[in-house]
Amino acid sequence: MSDLPVTVLVLAKAPEPGRAKTRLAATIGEHLAANIAAAALLDTLDAVAAAPVAARVVALTGDLDAAARAHDIRRRLESFTVIPQRGDDFADRLANAHVDAANGYPVLQIGMDTPQVTAELLADCARRLLETPAVLGMAFDGGWWVLGLRTPAAAQFLRGIPMSTPDTGRLTLKSLRNNGIDPTMLSPLVDVDLIEDIAAVRDACGPGSRFARITRAAGL
């Protein structure tokens, strides 16, 4: 299978105890939350690495030296182009990452909160992106789990949108449409923010999933 001319971009935060998955950590403790975040990131990177795309980029923030499973993450990142996140807030960092990662290809961007993604799902999203100006997949919490843009300039419409709120998905869709971009809507997914999200995401993960193993072992 030939590679699809698309860049898959992962926005990632080093899973440092006390900084990773803070809402989850309030319930289960910061060290377990960081290890769950690390497992989710590694599962995500595995899926991206296996997807038939032209380029794979991780825009990273945080201190990887202080992160859970730092050695495993560094080793997995060897097959990715790693760039720093830049910007004053999350919306700025998203927009800048799209520009920094583009390399002449459309950019399909995901985060690290959906470890159930597969290479096949990402390939399907990439194919859809090649047929339309943008793709958008909503998350059940009101955000979105995937955003694909054919041109980096379109990412500027993300600036000023409040992120990590119940309205993020709706406002992102509104901003794109207000600027003449009508995205193809993709299937929604559950992302992991709270303990109540874990079972649904785990059930959607593959049998080799690190996220599934660690959450099951923790009795979550």
Residue 84's domain comprises: 4-215
Give me the mean pLDDT over the 41-47 stretch.
Answer: 99
Is residue 19 pLDDT above 80, yes or no? Answer: yes
SS3 state of residue 176: helix
User: Which pair of structure tokens corresponds to residue 79?
Assistant: 């097959």
Evaluate whether residue 220 is within a structural domain: no
CATH code for the domain in which residue 41 is found = 3.90.550.10
Evaluate whether residue 105 is within a structural domain: yes
Strand order across the 134-139 sheet:
81-84, 53-61, 4-13, 107-110, 144-149, 134-139, 184-189
Question: What is the longest distance spanned by two Cα atoms in the chain?
Answer: 48
Q: What is the pLDDT of residue 1?
A: 59
Evaluate whether residue 32 is within a structural domain: yes
Amino acid at 114: T
Residue 82's pLDDT band, with cuts at 50, 70 and 90, is very high
Evaluate whether residue 54 is within a structural domain: yes
Sign of CA dihedral 201, 97, 103, 155: positive
Rounded distance, CA 115 to CA 98, Å? 21
Q: What is the pLDDT of residue 86?
A: 97
- Residue where the block lists tokens 């996220």: 211
Question: DSSP label at 105?
Answer: S
User: Which pair of structure tokens corresponds to residue 40?
Assistant: 């989710």
Is residue 120 pLDDT above 70, yes or no? Answer: yes
Residue 60's pLDDT band, with cuts at 50, 70 and 90, is very high
List the beta bridge partners of residue 19. none
- Concatenate the DSSP letters of all residues of 41-59 into one string: HHHHHHHHHHS-EEEEEEE
Residue 67's pLDDT band, with cuts at 50, 70 and 90, is very high
* pTM for this model (two decimals): 0.96
Evaluate whether residue 165 is within a structural domain: yes
Evaluate whether residue 207 is within a structural domain: yes
Domain total in the chain: 1
Is residue 70 pLDDT above 90, yes or no? Answer: yes
Q: What is the pLDDT of residue 2?
A: 80
Question: DSSP label at 166?
Answer: T
Residue 103 has φ and ψ, to the nearest 5°, of 55, 30
Taking only the tens place, the pLDDT of each residue in 146-205 is: 999 999 889 999 998 988 888 999 999 999 999 999 999 999 999 999 999 999 999 999
Those residues whose C-beta lies under 8 Å from the C-beta of residue 137, and which sit 6 or more positions away, are 125, 144, 145, 146, 147, 185, 186, 187, 188, 189
Q: What is the pLDDT of residue 131?
A: 97
Task: Give percent above pLDDT 90 in the chain.
Answer: 95
Rounded distance, CA 75 to CA 215, Å? 23
Query: Where does the chain have alpha helices with state H?
Result: 22-28, 30-50, 70-77, 90-101, 119-129, 168-178, 198-204, 210-217
Taking only the tens place, the pLDDT of each residue in 96-114 is: 999 999 999 999 999 999 9
